[in-house]
């Protein structure tokens, strides 16, 4: 029954469409054809990603180079959402993010910072950089920490890698502050993606490899959610004490086969 009455699909990207890596990554077998089939079927499509190592433009260029027929307009990502919040609240960020994400913040005032924005900074997660972010936060009367996601780890072609959530927790602990999470599993983030698609949650399915951020976050918004057995999936996920996907599928291609048969 989980595959019935679907008008829109939200897809995680890393671990569902491709496995990232130092060489740019490799597509997961059948995923590019699955995306083509989704679009040919008339279903609404949204790439709902916590990707914060690249701007949307360069991210989409990489995906298109792997054979995925996608556009920037089909991507919901944390950095643009964070920029909206910063402008709305008059916040000036100290940025601890990946160098390739900096263009997303080009129009944001960063003088005399009154908050810290944290993304998946990868090699920029040095002691010196984390300590600088700590000093900015600890020097504030009311520290504001905005994190572009809270993932624990993700998979690249050479194995699992620590994600932004581990560093977020370090700053939370050191500064006695609770981060505001922009990105999955934030309810506001999923609701934004649904609004952009024009599809109500009960007619949408989220497909991801992260049991908590993809599946749990989507279900909290009233969506059905599937976990693929690719990417960061581990067999222990199937015994998660709190989150139970509406179904497990071996990969995106299998999920699309089932949905399009309905």
Does residue 12 form part of some domain?
yes
**177 and 122 belong to one structural domain:** yes
Which residues form the domain of 217? Answer: 8-50+184-261
* Confidence at residue 221, expressed as pLDDT on a 0 to 100 scale: 96
Name the domain boundary from 155, 181, 207. Answer: 181
The span from the CA of 205 to the CA of 209, in Å, is: 13
pLDDT band at residue 20, thresholds of 50, 70 and 90? confident
Q: Which of 119, 149, 181 is the last residue of a domain?
A: 181
Are 86 and 158 contained in the same domain? yes
Residue 13: Cβ within 10 Å count? 23
Q: What is the pLDDT of residues 52-62, one digit of tens each?
A: 999 999 999 99
Backbone phi, psi, residue 75, to 5°: -110, 125
Q: What is the pLDDT of residues 217-233, one digit of tens each?
A: 999 999 999 999 999 99
Rounded Cα–Cα distance for residues 76 and 186 (Å): 13
């Amino acid at each position: 029954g989980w595959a019935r009455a679907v008008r829109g699909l939200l897809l995680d990207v890393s671990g569902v469409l491709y496995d990232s890596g130092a060489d740019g990554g490799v597509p997961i077998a059948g995923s590019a054809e699955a995306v083509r089939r989704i679009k040919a079927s008339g279903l609404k499509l949204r790439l709902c990603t916590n990707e914060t190592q690249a701007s949307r433009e360069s991210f989409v260029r990489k995906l298109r180079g792997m054979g995925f027929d996608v556009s920037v307009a089909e991507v919901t990502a944390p950095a643009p959402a964070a920029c909206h919040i910063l402008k709305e609240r008059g916040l000036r960020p100290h940025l601890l993010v990946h160098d390739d994400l900096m263009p997303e913040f080009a129009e944001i005032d960063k003088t005399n910072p009154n908050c810290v924005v944290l993304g998946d900074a990868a090699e920029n997660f040095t002691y010196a950089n984390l300590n600088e972010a700590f000093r900015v936060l600890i020097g504030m009367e009311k520290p504001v920490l905005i994190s572009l996601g809270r993932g624990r780890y993700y998979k690249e072609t050479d194995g699992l890698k620590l994600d932004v959530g581990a560093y977020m927790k370090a700053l939370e602990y050191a500064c006695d502050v609770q981060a505001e999470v922009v990105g999955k599993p934030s309810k506001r983030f999923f609701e934004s993606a649904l609004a952009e698609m024009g599809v109500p949650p009960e007619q949408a399915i989220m497909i991801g490899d992260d049991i908590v951020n993809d599946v749990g976050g989507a279900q909290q918004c009233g969506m059905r959610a599937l976990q693929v057995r690719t990417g960061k999936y581990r067999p222990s996920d199937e015994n998660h004490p709190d989150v139970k996907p509406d179904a497990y599928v071996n990969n995106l291609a299998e999920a699309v086969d089932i949905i399009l048969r309905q």
